[in-house]
Structure 1
Amino acid sequence: MNKVIETMKNHRSIRNYTNEDVSEEIINELVNVAQAAPNSINGQQTSLLVIKDKVTKEKLAELTGGQTWVAAAPVFFIFIADFYKIKVASEITKLPMNITESVESIMVASVDAGLSAQNLMTAAESLGLGIVPIGGIRKNPDDVIKLLGLPKYTFPILGVAVGYPSDNSKLKPRMPKAAYRHNEKYNKENIRETIIEYDKEMADYLKAIGRTQEVNWSSQTMNIYQYNYYPKVYPVLKDQGFKNCK
């Protein structure tokens, strides 16, 4: 099998790292592959922050909800929705930047950030590095914006902690293809039964790694999704110029 495919299929989140630094050469290559990802209309409406400063990482670990691996990782990448660059283009061309009135602006930037992050994560794993994506960068976006000096028309979308693994986590089982792949049209048949079976598999997995308090996939997912768990996202987006009114 192709080595790239094997690397991607073998993905697992790594939260424990050795003390070995990630070289600037490797960091530069990760930045290069992240920037090489496809993006909508060639608008390049994302930017990437590279965080190595210990104090900054410790503060970000706190702001992401006490995720200590953010501080422990040698390098922490943050993918930014960046329409500040688009605003500059607006000023250069003297054409109005109306896209930030629409939810499409943040959807475009989020998709592009995800594509860019996947490039970086796959490349990192192919080099023997461990990674874990951090959605908690959106938990306190106002404080993250202040800490990182982000201008208006920008927003932190996703973080990725990167370092050399001190251990390998157990590969997490995914849902059966019956609940994932749909041919031609969405097929609702047997989704419930498939999820019930998957819950049993996840219960065994969680027991094996000592996280039985999460119960299974359905319970863990709904323990989170019963709430608007990052309530600051919408008001801070508006403060940053993303009106989301259209």
Structure 2
Amino acid sequence: RLICHYCGYISVPPKLCVACGGKHIGFFGFGTQKLQDELTERFPDHEFIRMDTDTTSARYSHDKILKSFGEKEADILFGTQMVAKGLDFPNVSLVGVISVDTLLYMNDFRAGERTFSLITQLVGRAGRAKKRGRAILQTYNPDNEILKLAAKQDYESFYESEIKLRRAVQFPPFCSIAVFGISGNSEDAVWDYIKRFDADLDETHRKAHSGVFIKRFGPFRDGIYKMGGRFRQRIIIKYSDNPQSRAFLQDVYSDTLSKLPNTIKFDLDINPSLV
């Protein structure tokens, strides 16, 4: 089956190309199922357990997987980031991160911080008892500073480097971020509305809150433009958090909701975990 992990849509893999009718359809990927195929081929004599959203959707399945691995019913545990967090298996002496670059170069200013955090957690999974631990990172950029500092678990040096970058480009904690999200089932309606909203936002700022300094970005498509049948656009502003800026955001939010069309969904996210 083909499953979308964003909206839950499920379909049967096509046998013929819908465009040309060709039979030669290849399936390629870099996810946990692809890794499972590699493990099956390279380590046929070893038992393994996969942990991802597909295998942990049932009730108590997460606990059952960890219990099975802890009782040595499998030699290899692999999966998504949930594998790395807070697990304690004394017999684990080798851990690895596949394609760590996909985390490092995500379209989010916290990508470096998240990558550093994940790697340091993962490194801590190996060698927790008497066995010597080893961690392997798969990357096209072995000289990347963040990866080097994470491998050494050098928290202070990473902090100094990251905070200097955040200060230079004005990202939290040196400012706050507000994300205005617009979504709807009609692509044209969403685009028309967010243009009107952008104009209203500018007018509210100029006429009633001109003393509030903001930097506005957008409108532009969300990273995942269509989810669950809805098209998504957004506008982002940077600002200093104070009573005046909060009053500005409150006015924008209240005014927008008072005249929001039924076909449009509007949300305001302050300092979201993922931008």
TM-score of the superposition, structure 2-length normalised?
0.26
**Greater share of strand:** 2
Q: Whose radius of gyration is greater, 1 or 2? A: 2
* More relative contact order, 1 or 2 (CA 8 Å, 6+ apart): 1
**Greater share of helix:** 1
